[in-house]
């Protein structure tokens, strides 16, 4: 089976992101490799004359705003302007005291960090552009690749536990638990939670399949689903466990949207996968799993960090401190009564951190994203098989669950500061915006978009074109109906 070059490009981007982008620190050599490749993919995309198809004007505007915000914060301003910004008076006073003429300065308090933050967006931009031009077959293959990479991460994580702290499979020096390719068990758990609904989408569709190989695919999918649950428990992430439960509920929803008989079968299969996974968890990771919930969930450093971040946010409104500057800004507002033993490099609340760094513009972008996401999710769950192929609908609904999980996780952590999860998030947004992609598989997404007419419309046209006296009963035999003359 031959795949278009763009499909291989997206697959390599996804693999590099998971293998190299599991940490949240900036300026690493792994980040440079991933960003250079992303830039090459974007350049090839533009040079080939391609354009993003089907994602809609609002998602496109959100992407432009997300990339443009840190770049605007890097534009130098004359002293008469930047001295009027919040928390800049002390900087100006220090410069005058040192006898230095006031220079032109940007909004960002740390242009170097903001520039690095802007470069870190390259993998997500490359994923959005390339995925938007993939055909249906390629998009399905990428969804399977996400599950495969999550399974590879599970195997690596279990091997890390078996080999101990000195395992050569630990790719980040600070990792001490089962973390797969990540530096943080919470982010590792987030990837597994994202893979759970995607696996469930294939499970739910395979239940409806009547081909001979259905049982083999079902068996593999059930084992994968259960293995993801085992990896989730081995990570011993409290946030991951809660998100895993939500992913399980969403998985059942993917089965329930089909017909009644198939819904029961799908729920039974997914429920069986859950039971298998729970059985393995009891045998493998139940003790460590319970220990993670022994401490008070509300006695958490996140609450103290959120209080300091909120004060800083109020002080830097309306323009913010600059994307990527949280580290230094937090020290300005940290007081002795909230000093923590561990070093605070992120707010552990991506919503608060982005609002602090980006100000009113970032808050507006977040609000627009929530509006778009809510509308797109409602639309995708209301579509029927007359509007799109069954598997594409299932994967798109799974993508809505993926976005929900990462958005919720961002309220207690910073998963989207890792390139791996940021790329998965970007993929899910594109699939949610345009579930089917270009219909012409042979074009690989480069040709004009061919809209598919709903099946109900096609069926109605065939009925009107059929002779009035011919009817097709349920048994499939054509009969001639007799008309009674009055």
Q: Is 479 helix (H, G, I), strand (E, B) or coil?
A: strand
Tell me whether residue 414 is in a domain. Answer: yes
Q: Contact at 8 Å (CB) between 300 and 293?
A: no
Choose between 266 and 189: higher pLDDT. 189
Tell me whether residue 433 is in a domain. Answer: yes
Q: Which residues pair with 77 in a beta bridge?
A: 105
Tell me whether residue 162 is in a domain. Answer: yes
Closest to 285 (Cα-Cα) out of 180, 163, 175, 158: 158
Backbone conformation region of residue 160, classed left if phi is above 0, alpha if psi is from -120 to 50, else beta: alpha
CA atoms in the 13 A half-sphere facing the CB of 124: 23
User: Each residue of 319-355: pLDDT tens digit?
Assistant: 999 999 998 898 888 876 666 656 678 888 999 999 9
Domain tally for the chain?
1
Please say if the pLDDT value at position 274 is more than 70.
no
Tell me whether residue 482 is in a domain. Answer: no
Q: What pLDDT is stored for residue 2 in this prediction?
A: 79
User: Each residue of 409-430: pLDDT tens digit?
Assistant: 999 999 999 999 999 999 999 9
Torsion of CA 42, 55, 439, 260, to 10 degrees: 130
Q: Contact at 8 Å (CB) between 254 and 198?
A: no
Range of the domain at 266: 5-51+120-294+383-442
Q: DSSP labels for 173-201? A: TT--SS-TTSSSHHHHHHHHHHHHHHHHH
Instruction: Please name the residue that has the structure tokens 């729970």.
Output: 278
Tell me whether residue 64 is in a domain. Answer: no
Tell me whether residue 354 is in a domain. Answer: no
Please say if the pLDDT value at position 95 is more than 50.
yes
pTM metric for this prediction: 0.84
Tell me whether residue 192 is in a domain. Answer: yes
Instruction: Output the average pLDDT for the chain.
Output: 81
Closest to 434 (Cα-Cα) out of 21, 23, 60: 60
Tell me whether residue 78 is in a domain. Answer: no
**Per-range mean pLDDT, top range of 298-307, 388-397, 414-423:** 414-423
Quickly count: other Cβ atoms within 10 Å of residue 456's Cβ. Answer: 12
Backbone angles phi, psi at 463, to 5 degrees: -65, -40
Q: What pLDDT is stored for residue 87 in this prediction?
A: 87
Contacts made by residues 157-165, CB under 8 angstroms, sequence distance 24+: 157/188, 157/231, 157/234, 157/235, 158/230, 158/231, 158/234, 161/234
């Amino acid at each position: 089976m031959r795949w278009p070059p763009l499909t291989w490009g997206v697959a390599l981007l996804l693999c590099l992101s998971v293998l190299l982008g599991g940490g949240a620190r900036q300026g690493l050599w792994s980040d440079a490799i991933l960003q250079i490749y992303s830039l090459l993919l974007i350049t090839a995309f533009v040079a080939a004359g391609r354009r993003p198809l089907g994602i809609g004007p609002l998602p496109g505007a959100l992407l432009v705003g997300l990339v443009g915000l840190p770049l605007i914060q890097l534009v130098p301003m004359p002293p008469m302007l930047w001295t009027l910004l919040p928390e800049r008076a002390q900087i100006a006073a220090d410069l005058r005291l040192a006898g230095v003429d006031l220079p032109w300065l940007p909004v960002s308090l740390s242009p170097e960090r903001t520039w690095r933050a802007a470069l870190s967006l390259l993998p997500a931009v490359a994923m959005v552009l390339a995925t938007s031009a993939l055909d249906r077959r390629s998009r399905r293959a990428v969804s399977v690749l996400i599950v495969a990479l999550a399974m590879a991460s599970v195997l690596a994580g279990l091997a890390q536990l078996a080999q101990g702290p000195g395992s050569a499979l630990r790719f980040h020096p600070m990792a001490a638990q089962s973390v797969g390719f990540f530096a943080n068990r919470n982010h590792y758990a987030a990837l597994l939670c994202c893979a759970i609904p995607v696996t469930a989408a294939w499970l739910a569709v395979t239940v409806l399949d009547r081909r001979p190989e259905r049982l083999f695919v079902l068996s593999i999918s059930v084992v994968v689903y259960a293995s993801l649950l085992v990896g989730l428990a081995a990570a011993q992430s409290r946030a991951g466990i809660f998100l895993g439960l939500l992913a399980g509920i969403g998985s059942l929803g993917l089965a329930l949207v089909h017909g009644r008989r198939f819904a029961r079968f799908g729920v039974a299969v997914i429920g069986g996968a859950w039971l298998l996974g729970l059985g393995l968890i009891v045998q493998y990771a139940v003790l460590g799993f319970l220990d993670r919930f022994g401490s008070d969930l509300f006695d958490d450093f996140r609450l103290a960090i959120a209080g300091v971040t909120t004060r800083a946010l109020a002080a830097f409104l309306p323009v913010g401190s600059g994307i990527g500057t949280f580290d230094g800004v937090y020290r300005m507002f940290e007081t002795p009564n909230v000093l923590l033993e561990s070093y605070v490099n992120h707010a552990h609340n991506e919503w608060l951190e982005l609002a602090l760094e980006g100000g009113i513009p970032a808050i507006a972008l977040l609000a627009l994203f929530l509006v778009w996401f809510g509308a797109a999710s409602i639309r995708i769950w209301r579509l029927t098989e007359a509007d799109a192929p069954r598997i594409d609908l299932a994967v798109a609904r799974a993508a809505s669950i993926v976005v929900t999980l990462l958005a919720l996780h961002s309220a207690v952590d910073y998963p989207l500061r890792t390139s791996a999860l940021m790329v998965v998030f970007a993929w899910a947004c594109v699939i949610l915006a345009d579930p089917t992609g270009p219909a012409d598989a042979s074009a690989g997404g480069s040709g004009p978009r061919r809209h598919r007419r709903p099946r109900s419309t096609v069926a109605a046209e065939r009925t009107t074109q059929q002779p009035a006296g011919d009817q097709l009963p349920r048994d499939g035999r054509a009969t001639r109906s007799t008309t009674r003359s009055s």
